[in-house]
Structure 1
Amino acid sequence: MLNTVKSISETLKKHREVKIVSHIDADGIAAGSIASVCLKREGIEHNVDFIKQLDEHVIDKLRNENPELVWFTDLGSGMIDRLDGLNTVITDHHKIQNTQKANNHLNPHLFGKNGAVDISGSGLTYLVAKNMNRKNIDLSALAVIGAVGDMQDSEHGKLIGTNREILQDGKNSGVLDYNIDIRFFGRETRSVFKLLQYANDPIIPGLTGREENCIKFLQDLGINMKDEERWRKWIDLSRDEKRKIVSEIVFTLLSKVFGHKNAKRVIGEVYILSKETPGTELHDAKEFATLLNSCGRYDKTEIGYNVCLGDRGEYLQRARTLLQGHRRTLVDALQFVNDAGITKRKYVQYFHAGDNINEKVVGIVAGMMIPYADKMPLIAFANSEDGVKVSARTDRSLVEKGLDLSVVMNHAAKKVGGIGGGHNVAAGATIPKNTEEKFLEEVERIVKEQIG
């Protein structure tokens, strides 16, 4: 893998102008930002485009522009056979669906690594940046944000593989730190009862989704929820208060037969951006990633990009406004799914949001529904300008049995004239309108083959 890293960095240094094309999610925005910063430090002219999907339309547009070199970050691997006529380098971690070789293609799956957990798109881009100039190790913070944004710490409760080496770079350079703490989202910014109310990895029986129960739970433990008039956040609690809460949550999970595996997920590594202000969205990698996602999902990638580049004024305030709207959108979307219901088939379950859920957040909604859904792959549909957006999510226990959603989405989408791909645990596709039933039939056929 190192040889490919070196080859890409040497190729980039030979060019005076580079076009960066990246994905719109947190990992993609972080990757595009890393690429931009490292090129700027080398004095290489460049511009950045963030796209939701690399398709024929985007490729044709690039061919017409005829850039000197295109650097694809967090995408590109799935379209290698269609990039003829473009001079490219690729740093992408998504599963490769074809066997066609390409020069300057950095993908962990080509080197026996797992792109779902070992390293992200921003991590691969960071490796190139670091090889170009050792001083770029400060960009390791963005790589960790990207990895966490892609939930690469979820399976093991910590970052592993090459992500671990990147994390150590960040610690050594003073931009990152990590410790063991509760893994629920909102440690820095949510009041404690809200942190418990919205806990979903794992869900807490009797508490998740129930504000009054969360308040009573804390009162029964003798936890003061306010410091004078200010709601206390998780980071405001003493070690003893945290221990009491975690112990009771673990006891609840075990007593409700949620299993030792789920109980272990409550605690794990959390990643801190050492140079950011405590108590803000930027101090915790998971919250920073959500801030970036809220920018990308609403066509405001330039806002997240500028925050990654260091803006802590206008762009940060605009990002926070988007984050507030993003949270409201997710609440409404979850309510829609709860009201409309999930349809169960023999091998999969699905819901069709139509125009009721933004196609750019339907994947997030599907992921949030997994803990509540039956142990079957969940397929989510939403209308889009290009047809129908499909997001697929599953429980990791099914992946361990052989399920690979990237293969499912790729093959089923092709069957109906669409395109798809992703990771084993989370994948997506875009298909023509009115092909959903045929698509689901093909999905079920492949899922049956994979896990019976």
Structure 2
Amino acid sequence: MPRAEIKMFQSKAIEVAAFLRKHIEKKSRIRILSHLDTDGISAASILIKCLHAHKVPFHAKFSRPLKTDEIMKLSQENYDLFVFVDQGSSQMAAIHKYMLGRGHSVLVLDHHPGNFPEHENLVYLNPHSCGLNGAKDVSAAGIVYSVVELIDKSFRSLLTLAIVGAIGDRQDFLLGFTNINEVLAKRAMDLGLIRATEGLKLIGREFTPLVESLRLSIRPFLPNISGDLEACRSIVNALGVSSNGSLEEIGQEKERKLREIIFSRVGGIAAKEEFCHSIWGTIYLQSGERPSGPRELREYSTMLEACSKFNKPEIGLAAAVGDMHALNEAITMLRNYQEKMVSVIRWLIEHMEYFKVTPYMRYIYAGDAVETTMMGEALSLSIESGLVPRDLPVVGITQSSSNELKVSARATHELTLQGFDVGRALATVASSCGGEGGGHDVSASAFIPSDRLQDLINGLELAFREQVKRGT
């Protein structure tokens, strides 16, 4: 663990907390612009809980990363402080021109890479500025929590949401969390907020009938099982347990036996290391009799992801801050999301021939067969479930409108060691195609004009080739 970098991050968090505390004491009018994925919802929930408790007026909005014209429009609004959460780093040029240039005060709490200019009205906390990697060392939720905790220690219960955000951004690795996430997870366990155990990584561990947990399994996706009700019933019968019982109720011995039955049913994929790790390993559970949200944190993170995919991030926010009605609605969305994602991944499996392979990437154009909001997550799930090879970055392209394409790119941390950085590549190529985009080295997205598809493919191939040349 690089202690110097962690200390630098923590020192910067103290500065940011002091800045935000002044605005809280002045009851400044605050505008929050947050990314709408699991991490963004978790991060915004932590910040909003803090502001609400201190009776600070705020207006929050969830969105994909704002485009230049949207930031220009935002600059016309009248607030004392604009806070960008889980976005902002890749939009610094527009923020500098239209927000800082017009005298607005801006706080950026983001874990994406970016270049931050020195400006008296700009305050930020970003792991990349401290020698850390925002794709694996800390999530936006972890960043916001690191600030809020310093303002008021009574918010320590929100530490659970920092872990939910990290899991949502796939920062829980085989050997556990790293750096800031490791510090936060240890603190959460020391405070008795969460506990770690080992078992099957199926959603619905506590209350969902086992048949349904298997049928709706998407993280991981189980070939020959996910989406197949009869296959799931057959597995439960072979296990010799009640079809109405949950995974939590069958006990550790039966849970291990279930793992072996799953391995026997999924085919050749069972031999892949990534699949084995995706199905069994460390799971994190909320402690206490009345947890906020689902007890198992992977399920919690997927629930917030569902709210995002159905364009209802405000429901996820309400659930995360304790609204029981919203929580019930979010859980319903989770089940619907699982149903939809099972269909999307099965479509990808049935159309593997649509994937084109070049020397430096693997890509698929799905048109409108896959919803724009589902493609990126479907690629992530397919990679970690072993359905798509991990040897190259994977790019998915969907038709977001009649004149615009959504581009989603995914890679593994092993590929970044070869020099691949999908966020940097996509930002550069999308811009050259008349669009906008960016993200992490392992996960990124962009929007480009529909007539620039071939330019995108050619540009990404060239960008990846140059990255590998520089990285080897």
| TM-score between the two structures when normalised by the length of structure 1 | 0.88
**In 2, Cα distance between equivalents of 1:391 and 1:432:** 14
Residue aligning to 1:349: 362
Q: Which moved more, 1:192-201 or 1:283-292?
A: 192-201
**In 2, Cα distance between equivalents of 1:38 and 1:394:** 35
Residue aligning to 2:170: 151
Residue aligning to 2:161: 142
The alignment status of 1:119 with 2:138, answered yes or no, reads yes
The amino acid that maps onto 2:379 is: A
Alignment check: 8 A CA contact 1:32 1:122 kept: yes
The alignment status of 1:403 with 2:420, answered yes or no, reads yes
The amino acid that maps onto 1:89 is: L
Alignment check: 8 A CA contact 2:222 2:266 kept: yes
Instruction: Tell me by how many angstroms 1:37 deviates.
Output: 1.0
Q: 1:389 to 1:259 in 2, by over 3 A?
A: closer
The amino acid that maps onto 2:444 is: A
Matches within 5 A, 1:372-411: 372-374=387-389, 375-385=391-401, 387-411=404-428
**In 1, Cα distance between equivalents of 2:164 and 2:52:** 21
Once the two structures are superposed, residues 366-412 of structure 1 have per-residue CA deviations (whole angstroms, 9 ceiling, x without a partner) of 22232212333221112225822111113444233332111221121
Partner SS state of residue 379, structure 1: strand
Alignment check: 8 A CA contact 2:201 2:220 kept: no
**In 1, Cα distance between equivalents of 2:52 and 2:182:** 26
Instruction: Tell me by how many angstroms 1:20 deviates.
Output: 1.3
**In 1, Cα distance between equivalents of 2:330 and 2:263:** 35
**In 2, Cα distance between equivalents of 1:19 and 1:256:** 47
**In 2, Cα distance between equivalents of 1:441 and 1:53:** 25
Instruction: Tell me by how many angstroms 1:351 deviates.
Output: 2.2
Among 312, 315, 318, the residue aligned to 1:306: 318
Once the two structures are superposed, residues 400-446 of structure 1 have per-residue CA deviations (whole angstroms, 9 ceiling, x without a partner) of 33321112211211221222211222111111221111001111112
**In 1, Cα distance between equivalents of 2:155 and 2:17:** 13
Q: Relative to total residues, which structure has the larger helix share, 1 or 2?
A: 2
Instruction: Tell me by how many angstroms 1:360 deviates.
Output: 1.8
The amino acid that maps onto 1:242 is: E
Q: Which moved more, 1:128-137 or 1:265-274?
A: 265-274
**In 1, Cα distance between equivalents of 2:116 and 2:19:** 23
The alignment status of 1:11 with 2:24, answered yes or no, reads no
Once the two structures are superposed, residues 95-123 of structure 1 have per-residue CA deviations (whole angstroms, 9 ceiling, x without a partner) of 22x46456422111111111111110010
Q: Which moved more, 1:322-331 or 1:49-58?
A: 322-331
Residue aligning to 1:79: 91
Contiguous gaps of at least 5 residues in structure 2? 1-8
Q: 1:58 to 1:174 in 2, by over 3 A?
A: farther
Residue aligning to 2:253: 240
Q: 1:391 to 1:88 in 2, by over 3 A?
A: same
Q: 1:323 to 1:119 in 2, by over 3 A?
A: same
The total of aligned residue pairs comes to: 443
Residue aligning to 2:333: 322
Instruction: Tell me by how many angstroms 1:64 deviates.
Output: 0.6
The alignment status of 1:104 with 2:123, answered yes or no, reads yes
Instruction: Tell me by how many angstroms 1:321 deviates.
Output: 3.0
Residue aligning to 2:4: none
Among 456, 459, 462, the residue aligned to 1:439: 456
Q: 1:261 to 1:351 in 2, by over 3 A?
A: closer
Partner SS state of residue 353, structure 1: strand
The alignment status of 1:284 with 2:296, answered yes or no, reads yes
Alignment check: 8 A CA contact 2:376 2:396 kept: yes
Instruction: Tell me by how many angstroms 1:205 deviates.
Output: 6.8
Among 89, 108, 112, the residue aligned to 2:107: 89
Partner SS state of residue 50, structure 1: strand
Partner SS state of residue 388, structure 1: strand
**In 1, Cα distance between equivalents of 2:53 and 2:199:** 36
The alignment status of 1:419 with 2:436, answered yes or no, reads yes
**In 2, Cα distance between equivalents of 1:449 and 1:231:** 54
Alignment check: 8 A CA contact 1:281 1:287 kept: no
Residue aligning to 1:160: 178
Instruction: Tell me by how many angstroms 1:126 deviates.
Output: 0.4
Contiguous gaps of at least 5 residues in structure 1? none
Among 3, 10, 14, the residue aligned to 1:2: 10
Alignment check: 8 A CA contact 1:18 1:45 kept: yes
RMSD: 2.8
Instruction: Tell me by how many angstroms 1:306 deviates.
Output: 0.6
| TM-score between the two structures when normalised by the length of structure 2 | 0.85
Alignment check: 8 A CA contact 1:5 1:128 kept: yes
Partner SS state of residue 434, structure 2: coil
Residue aligning to 2:3: none
The alignment status of 1:54 with 2:66, answered yes or no, reads yes
Instruction: Tell me by how many angstroms 1:298 deviates.
Output: 2.1
Q: 1:391 to 1:252 in 2, by over 3 A?
A: same
**In 1, Cα distance between equivalents of 2:143 and 2:340:** 31
Q: 1:257 to 1:304 in 2, by over 3 A?
A: closer
**In 2, Cα distance between equivalents of 1:167 and 1:360:** 30
Instruction: Tell me by how many angstroms 1:142 deviates.
Output: 0.9
Instruction: Tell me by how many angstroms 1:281 deviates.
Output: 6.3
Q: 1:250 to 1:362 in 2, by over 3 A?
A: closer
Q: 1:73 to 1:340 in 2, by over 3 A?
A: same
**In 2, Cα distance between equivalents of 1:383 and 1:56:** 21
Alignment check: 8 A CA contact 2:263 2:270 kept: no
Q: 1:170 to 1:402 in 2, by over 3 A?
A: same
Identity %: 27
Partner SS state of residue 380, structure 2: helix
Q: 1:249 to 1:322 in 2, by over 3 A?
A: closer
Q: Which moved more, 1:140-149 or 1:386-395?
A: 386-395
